[in-house]
Chains A and B, each alone.
Chain A
Amino acid sequence: MTKICCIVFSTLFLFTCAISAHAGDLDSFKGQKGTLKIAGGTAHIPVMKEAAKLIMQANPDLRITIAGGGSGVGIKQVGEGLIDIGNAGRKATDKEVSTYGLTMYKWAVDGVGVVVNPKNTVTKLTTAQLQDIFSGKISNWKELGGADRAINLYDRDAASGTRSVFWKKGLQKANVSTTANIVASNGAMKTAIAGDPYGIGFVSVGHIDASIAPVTLDGIAPSLENVKSGAFKVSRGLYSLTKGEAQGLAKLFIDFIFSPTGQDLVKAKGFVAVQ
């Protein structure tokens, strides 16, 4: 996985960057050398990639690798010292923080929106309907005014931060049917829903684009504005974690995410900036 990311990454590296850096934000990386390993939450990847690209363009002596794996993986690997920064789309539990001595940095707010295929005519749902869909009580799109086809549920694995927020705040801890298909990342969810006209799933708002259609939940669309204003309730912080206080390159990287340039990246990728 890491290898694939590296390849994707070096390809991206060749393209000119879309976002220009504010003066001075990249200065702290001058003269630095070494490797920075980042892994974990898949919602974070677009911002991480762009930030790493800017940094590595400014200083070619640095190597930054970014892998997915999910929030659980991010927390575990940073705790065990396998990586420098672990990303998580949920707060680390008290137990995780105390076991590993982790420090959390919240650098963006993200919504988790229900999505369907753009061909689907059902674009509005209530929480009760959503609960019935995911528990399997409503199993045909016809019951919601759509085509006469079975609803294909797509769920994430239990270690997903996106899932834990969706389950807590979107489904209000209702049961999820065991027959749901399970995909391994936000990207995989997008691919699955974009390819399945009868599918329903959930992704980080930052991942919503033209290939999938957001569903209005209780009259409120999962848009950046609504997440920002607090009207859309299914939201969470995006965190980066380090073992102990961030030091060296990891600290510089996290400081960069909090800098004006970093926060511009956050906004450009469809999240709500914290500063």
Chain B
Amino acid sequence: MAMGSGLLLIAILCMMAVLGWPLVENGRFFALFSTTWSPHAQAYGILPMILGSLRITVLALLFSLPMSIGTACLAELLAPRPLRRLLLVTIRFMAGVPTVVYGFVAVFLLVPLMREYLIFGSGFSILTASLVLAVLIAPTMIIFFVNGLQSVPRSYCHAVDSLGARPMQKLIYLLLPQAYPSLLIGVILGLGRAMGDTLISLMLAGNSVALPESVAESGRTLTAHIALVIAADFSSMEFTTIFACGLILSLFTVCLIVSIRLLDRFGTRGAQHREMSTESRP
């Protein structure tokens, strides 16, 4: 099963490479990394979209991560018992809300707010989209974080409790370090979801093709770009470039995940070293 889905991913990547091949043949591949997208002038630069995708993803994660870790800790340990249940139920409900609902609500509530009080543009901006995206990816992350915190062995918890640790100490010195792998998986999934989401950025980021100078400006993500250009003439060059967009999007996601995994491996190896050295010190 796992191998099947792996093969499928590779097959999809190959298909995109084959369909995007005319770009390489025409020597246009590197021209993709220029900053102007203007099909009328034969310029097919997708750098603004690559940067747009990266900015929205990173920003959404920055907003979402502290919020998610905080909520997970509250739901698992810090809040009074009835509130914990309520929090978990709310989060599970949030995970089921369709993306388009968030987008639609934000168009009517968040966008005017941004326009009048915060950024004074049209209100459609990278910042607006990433705020909503942060809310969208939070439930996924929180659910994984909570599972991670729950899976810490009871005996450890009892040991720490018997030493008289306060909840906060328990959290910082036992639960969070022990739940680290789950935290990481939560972050990876959140990241993937943020990078792959199309509708939020299509509805809220503004979709302008200019290279955004700040996050308060309108920008376009790779996903929204594909959704907008897919309507172009089938045999046209612009249509070919969206396969390159798809390829770059997938590669970016893979790179991000691999780098987090690598970080993790080096991180835990370091931790093991430290543990061993403390153990060997009698």
**Interface of A toward B, CB cutoff 8 Å:** 69-73, 76, 79-80, 93, 95-96, 99, 149-150, 152, 154, 157-160, 177-184, 191-192, 195-196, 198-199
Closest chain A residue, CB of each to CB of B207:
A182
One of A70, A96, A154 near B231 (C-beta < 8 A): A70
Q: Which A residues touch B107, using CB under 8 A?
A: 191, 195
Query: Is B228 touching A181 in the complex (CB atoms < 8 A)?
Result: no
**CB within 8 A of B233: which of A72, A160, A184?**
A72
Pick the contact of A198: B122, B210, B220 (CB < 8 A).
B122
Across the interface, B209 reaches (CB within 8 A) one of A72, A178, A183, namely: A178
Residue B39 interfacial (CB < 8 Å): yes
A183 to B202, CA, bound (A): 8
> Which one of B38, B39, B208, B232 contacts A179 once the chains associate, using CB atoms below 8 Å?
B208
A160: nearest chain-B partner, CB-CB: B231
B112 at the A interface (CB under 8 A) = yes
Nearest 4 pairs of A and B residues by beta carbon: A159-B231, A152-B122, A182-B207, A178-B210
Contact yes or no, A96 B233, CB < 8 A: yes
Cross-chain pairs A/B with CB under 8 angstroms, 25 sampled: A76-B233, A95-B233, A150-B120, A150-B121, A152-B122, A154-B122, A158-B39, A158-B229, A158-B232, A159-B232, A178-B37, A178-B208, A178-B209, A179-B208, A179-B217, A181-B206, A182-B206, A182-B220, A182-B228, A183-B207, A184-B202, A184-B227, A196-B115, A196-B122, A196-B123
Bin chain B's interface residue count: 20 to 34
Whether B243 sits at the interface, judged by CB under 8 Å, is: no
For residues 222 through 257 of chain B, which have their beta carbon under 8 Å from a beta carbon of chain A?
227-235, 238
CB pair A181–B122 under 8 Å, yes or no, is: yes
Q: How far is the CA of A152 from the CA of B238 in the complex (A)?
A: 26
Cβ–Cβ < 8 Å partners of B111 in chain A? 195
Main secondary structure of the interface of A (DSSP, over half): mixed
> Is B218 at the interface (CB under 8 A from chain A)?
yes
A5 → chain B closest CB, angstroms: 14
In the complex formed, the residue of B with least CB distance to A75 is B233
Cα-based distance from A177 to B115 in the complex (angstroms): 20
Closest to B217 in A: A179
Partner of A181, one of B108, B218, B227: B218
- For A179, list chain B residues within 8 Å (CB): 208, 210, 217-218
Instruction: Give the one of A76, A181, A196, A199 with max B CB within 10 A.
Output: A181
The answer to whether the Cβ of B124 comes within 8 Å of any Cβ in the partner chain is yes
Could you give, for residues 95-131 of chain B, a 1 whenever the CB lies within 8 Å of some chain A CB and a 0 otherwise? Answer: 0000000000001100110010000111110000000
A149 to B121, CA, bound (A): 9
- When the two chains form their complex, are residues A182 and B232 in contact, meaning their CB atoms are under 8 A apart? no
The A-contacting residues of B in range 195-223, CB under 8 angstroms, are: 202, 206-210, 217-218, 220
- On chain B, the residues within 8 Å of A93 by CB distance are 233
Is A195 touching B235 in the complex (CB atoms < 8 A)? no
Whether A69 pairs with B231 at a CB distance below 8 angstroms is yes
Which residue of chain A has its CB nearest to the CB of B37? A178
A198 surroundings in chain B (CB, below 8 A): 115, 122
**CA gap between A180 and B209 in the complex, in Å:** 8
Q: Please state if B108 and A76 are interface contacts (CB–CB under 8 Å).
A: no
Contact of B234 among A76, A149, A177 (CB under 8 A): A76
Residue ID in chain B nearest A71 by CB atoms? B231
Residues of B within 8 A of A149 (CB): 120
B227: chain A residues within 8 A (beta carbon): 184
Kindly list chain B residues whose C-beta atoms are within 8 Å of the C-beta of A69: 231
Which A residues lie within 8 Å of B232 (CB)? 72, 158-159
Q: Chain B residues near A182: list those with CB within 8 A.
A: 206-209, 220, 228
Give Cα A183–Cα B231 distance, bound, in whole angstroms: 13
Which of B38, B121, B228 is A157 in contact with, Cβ under 8 Å? Answer: B228
